[in-house]
Structure 1
Amino acid sequence: MVQLSTFLGALALTVFSVQAVPGLSSRQSIPDPSGEKNVGNGAAIQFVGGQCLGAADCASGCCATLPQGGQTIGVCSGVGAQNQAGKQGCGFEAGGADNQGGDQGGDQNDEEGGNENTNGGGNQNNGQAGGTVQPSGITPDPSGAANVGNGQGKQFITGECTSDADCGSGCCALVNTGEANFGVCSGPQANTQNGKQGHSPSFLLHILTLFLGILAVVSNARDAPQNLQDFYDAVRAKGHCSNKLGTGFYSRDNGSNDFAYCGDHLASSGVIYLQGPNGSLANLDVDCDGTDGGARDDGRCRAELSPDLQGRTSFRDALSAYGRGVGDLNPYVHPYVWRAFDPAAHGMRPLSVMAVLCPDRRLVYGVWGDTNGDDGDKPMVGEASLALVTACGGGRVTGANGIDEDAALFLGFTGDEAVPGPDGADWNATDFDAFEGSIEGLGDRLVERVRVVGDADAACSSRLGWAVAMAAAAVVAVLGARGLL
C-alpha cells in the first residue's frame, strides 16, 4: 500500500502547484500515448486515460468527452469520474453530431460580462479528433491574486479560487480552457456559462480526485524487506531450480514449457515458488474467476475480456464454511493466486497467505485461492486475480491485459500457520486495501522466515571442493615425503 506520508507529501505538492501555477493540465498526459493501439478497434480493452472513439473501445464502458487544444477527443474514464479533470461526461462517439462536449447551449449570456457563450450546441464531431469547439476564454483577473486560497471569502467574481471559501459569491467554478484547468469565482446562476463546468464545493476536490486517479494507476504494493529482496536476487542469480516439484509449465502460449514449481528452499524456509529458465520467474496474467459485481466491478473482468471466465473458484466451499457470509472470492477485491499444480502434497493449504514480489520488487500479499485445471495441453503459470495484478501494474490491467515480464516472484508458504482462517482475514472486505491490510501482519511474519541458504547444488559443490582439497593435500604430502617438493 502507498504509505500515508508519501500520499500526504504528494498531495501537498499537488495543492501547492495548483495554487501557484494554474496551468494544471499542461502537466497531465491525457490521453496516455501508450494506449494508441487500442483506439478505435471496439475491443473494449482500452484502459482508463487512453483515447477512445466510442464506448466500445473502453474496458470501463465509458468514453468521456474532453476538450483539448480547441478540439474534443474521447478518453476512457471510470464510471463516476466522467465529469472530473475537465471531462464532460460519458457518451463520446467519433463522427456523432450530438457530442456532449458541444451540447451545452449557445445563446446564454455570462452575467459577469455579457460575453456570448461560444461553446455552442451546433458543434459537429468529425472523426478521431472530434469536432472543433471554442474553449472557455476566461482568464482569472490577476488583481485578485492576493485572495487565492486564503478561505476568507474576499475573492470577487472572475478572480481565481481554490474553494468556495475563497469567493464572496460562495461559488468556485471549474474552468477548462482546453489547455489548463483552474477555479474561478462565479455567480451561482452562471457557473456553467462561457465554458465553466459547474459549481464545485471545493475546486481542490477536483484536484484530489485527479490525484487519487493517478494513485489508482500507481502500484499499490509496498517495499519488500531486505531478506525477501536477497532471496529474489539469489533465485534469479542461480538461474534454475534443482528440486522441481512440478514441471512442464508455460508462461505464455508461444513460449517454452521450462517453468516449474520449485522446492529448493522448502526445507530451510518452508516456501514453494515458480522458477523459469535462465533466471526468469513468472509473469502476471489476470484471472477473473469468482463472484462478479459489487461496488468495485468496473468492467475490467467482463466476459468479452476474459473468455475463459468461470463463475466460481476452487475453494468457494471452504470459504463459505467460514460462516462469514461470503460465497466466493471476488477478483476485484481479493488478491488471490491461481495454480495449475496442487502444492497441498508439499504442505501448502487452501486459502493460505502468499507473497508476490512484483517485477519492480514491491510486495503484495494474497491467498492461494484457485486451481482450475491446466489450460489444456499448455498448463500455464503466473495467474492471479485482477485485484492482485492491479496492485502491481495499476489500473491499465484488465482480463485481457496483464504484465508480460517473467520477473514476478510467487511465494507460497507451507504449514497451518499460513492459513488466516475465518477470523484472521477480512473476507467481507469490499476493496483490495481493506482485505490485503487484514492479512498484512500474518504475511510479514511468514516473510520473516525466508532466508537464503545453500541448496542441493551448493552442498554438492561444497562436498566436491572439500574432496578436491583433501586429494590435493594427499598429493602434496606424498610428493613431500619423496623429496620432490
Structure 2
Amino acid sequence: MLRTTILAALASAALARDIPSNVQAFYDAHLNTECSNAVSDSFSSVVYCQDNTSSALFLKGPSGSYDNMDIDCDGANASEGLCDNDPTGQSMTAFMDQVAEFGISDLDAHIHPYVVLGNDGATPSFDPQSVGIEPLSVVAVVCNGKMFYGIWGDTNGGTSTGEAALSMGQLCFGDDAVNGDQGHDEADVLYIAFPGSAAVPGKAAAWKAKMKEEFEECLATIGDKLVAGL
C-alpha cells in the first residue's frame, strides 16, 4: 500500500511539471528562427542544432517549428500492449549492453521514457557523441505545454528524427493519445540533450522502475540542474 501511494504521488508530480521560465524563453527564442549552428546535414528539413551559449543539442525544423514525435517501441516488451501495432519495432535498443549493467535486460518503452537521437545506416547520418552527448544521458522534452525528462536511449537506423518511447508520448499527450503506430504529427516538440558526463545518471537512476512516472521523476535532480544552464 505504501509503495502504491508513493508511486501515485510521483505520477502526480511528473504530470504537473511546468516548463521553467528559462526553458520557455529558450523555446520561444529559437522557434521563429533558422538554426544558427547546425552540426548535422538536413534530415527532411530538420537539423541537429547546437546552442551557442549552453552547447545543448536540440532538433530544429524550419522557422516556426521544431520536430514531431513518432513513437518508438524498441527494447523489452516491444510488441506488448499499445506497442503491438508498431510496424518498425525492434527487440533491442542501441544501448542494450550498457543498461544491462544496471540489472535490466534492456530499456522498456512502456516504462523508460527514452528519446531517439542519432542516425546510423543511411545518408545523411549523425552521431550525437560527436558533440559530446553521452549514451543514456538526460534529455529534456518540451511538449504540449509541459516538460518531461527522458534519456537518450536509442538511435534511428534510417533518416527519421523526432522519435521517443511510447512512455514519453504518453507523458506528453496522454495514455490513450499515442500507440506504436500513432504519434504526434505537429512539429512543436523540442528535444534538448546535454553534453558531458554530468548529464548521465548511471546507476543512480531507477532502472527497475515499474511505472513511467517513477523513472521520469528519478531524472529530475540532474535534469533541473541541466536546464538551469540554458
TM-score (norm 2): 0.87
Would you tell me which structure has more strand in proportion to its own residues? 2
Structure 1 gaps, min length 5: 1-6, 9-214, 250-256, 451-485
Deviation string 1:377-424 (CA, Å, 9 cap, x unpaired) is xx111000000011011122101111111001000000110000112x
Q: Is the 8 A contact 1:320 1:326 kept in 2?
A: yes
Q: Tell me whether 1:246 sits opposite 2:28 in the alignment.
A: no
2:154 paired residue among 370, 393, 399? 370
- Give the letter aligned to residue 286 of structure 1: I
| Aligned-partner residue type, residue 361 of structure 1 | G
The residue matched to 2:153 in structure 1 has which SS?
strand
Give the letter aligned to residue 105 of structure 2. G
Whether 2:131 is the aligned partner of 1:346: answer: yes
Residue 248 (structure 1) shift = 2.3
Q: Is the 8 A contact 2:78 2:90 kept in 1?
A: no
Q: Which TM-score applies when normalising by structure 1?
A: 0.42
Partner of 1:261: 48
The whole-number CA distance in structure 1 between the counterparts of 2:16 and 2:63 is: 26
The offset of 1:268, in angstroms, is 1.7
User: Could you tell me how far apart the structure 1 residues matched to 2:78 and 2:67 are?
Assistant: 29
Match for 1:301: what amino acid?
A: C
Residues 47-58 of structure 1: pairs in structure 2 closer than 5 A: none
Distance 1:246 1:389 in 2: 25
Q: How does 1:78-477 map to 2 (within 5 A)?
A: 220=15, 222-237=17-32, 239-249=33-43, 257-263=44-50, 265=51, 267-292=52-77, 299-302=81-84, 305-321=85-101, 324-339=102-117, 340=119, 341-358=126-143, 360-374=144-158, 379-395=159-175, 396-423=177-204, 425-450=205-230
Task: Please tell me whether Structure 1 or Structure 2 has the larger radius of gyration of its CA atoms.
Answer: 1
Structure 2 counterpart of 1:413, one-letter code: F
Q: What is the CA–CA distance in structure 2 between the aligned matches of 1:346 and 1:293, rounded to whole Å?
A: 30
Amino acid at match of 1:300: L
* Sequence identity (%): 41
Gaps of 5+ in 2: 1-7, 120-125
Matched-pair contact (CA < 8 Å) for 1:313–1:372: no
Structure ranking higher on relative contact order (CA contacts 8 Å, 6+ apart): 2
Q: Letter of the aligned partner of 2:182 in structure 1?
A: N
| CA-CA distance at 1:320 after TM superposition | 1.0
Quick one: which amino acid aligns to residue 414 of structure 1?
P
Moved over 3 A (4+): none
Q: How many Å apart are 1:361 and its aligned residue?
A: 2.5
User: Cα distance 1:442–1:427, how it changes in 2: closer, same or farther (>3 A)?
Assistant: same
Aligned length: 214
Distance in 1, matches of 2:147 and 2:224, equals: 10
Q: How far apart, CA to CA, are the structure 1 residues paired with 2:182 and 2:38?
A: 29
Residues 1:287 and 1:233: Cα distance change in structure 2 (over 3 Å): same
| SS, match of residue 198 in structure 2 | helix
SS in 2 for 1:387: helix
Deviation at 1:221, TM superposition (A): 5.6
Distance 1:306-1:405 versus aligned 2 partners, 3 A rule: same
Deviations 1:319-370 (A, max 9, x none): 112xx32010000000001122311010100000000000x23101000000
SS in 2 for 1:300: helix
SS at match of 2:130: helix
Change (3 A) 1:347 1:221: farther
